[in-house]
Amino acid sequence: MIVNSKELLQNAKSGKYCILAPDYVDLDSAKTFVNTAEKAGKPIILSFAQVLNDVIALDEAAAVGRFVAERANIPVVLHLDHGEDIDYIKKAVESGFTSVMIDASMKSFEENVRETKEIVEFSHSRGVTVEAEIGHVGRGENYTDYQNSDSVYTEVEEAVEFWNRTGVDSLAVSIGTAHGIYKGMEKPALNFERLHQLADALPIPLVLHGGSGSGDENLYRCACEGITKINIFTDFLLGAMEKINEEKPGDYLSLKKAANQGMAQILEHYFNVFYR
């Protein structure tokens, strides 16, 4: 069944657990994620990122996501990840996404507030929940350690003011993760003290971006200590390729099957991490 994220994330916040949010790129990956979640009996946030628009167009992504989500026997949120411009996000809402993220984190605080408030008002009137980002989660290739990266840590006072002025439903925060593959290191050092401060100060669910490669113990602690949604993408791509290289498929259908199995194994692994 397809739902928005509000009740799922509030329940996760109260229960001190998190919900996984993998990005899909086609029907195969969407079905793989939802089928795996069904087998585990867990809800899932099926995400499509604007940056993937050259892989699959927004209207196609909406059709694929709704097709899979509406047939599921678990709660599935159809979520737009990292929406970068207002018109695109509004189109996602009108196309059937039940949750959207506006990422104006690299803009000024006031502009982030203004754009987020506009999306909140538009989306809430249509029953769609909104995630935003305060601070900035950078890229792994720019990350050598938590003091030398293009990430900007979320400040507690700014986060509280941002929530008060926008009415956003959930907030992506920066505590030391990065998108993509970390450069020259196994896993990042996360600022759990900052996470605790943010979780104590904000009544809304917190989101962690850049979950791939962050380390199982780090992510488990995040899920127990204040994060209610964790985004993972790169690990699924790597898992698919690892399985393809292992199986060495001789035709296209066998290749797709191997890729799907690889992604399913990664999702099963993370379910085991978060639901011990």
Cα 224 to Cα 16: distance, rounded to the nearest angstrom: 5
Cα 131 to Cα 40: distance, rounded to the nearest angstrom: 26
| Catalytic residue (one of 23, 54, 59, 81) | 81
Cα 100 to Cα 21: distance, rounded to the nearest angstrom: 12
Cα 151 to Cα 135: distance, rounded to the nearest angstrom: 8
**Which residue carries 């986060």 as its tokens?**
159
All residues at 6 or more sequence positions from 211 whose CB lies less than 8 Å from its CB, including other chains = 177, 219, 230, 231, 232, 235
Give catalytic status of residue 81 as yes or no: yes
Cα torsion for 41, 42, 43, 47, to the nearest 10°? -110
Residues forming a β-bridge with 69: none
Cα 271 to Cα 273: distance, rounded to the nearest angstrom: 5
Q: Active-site positions?
A: 81
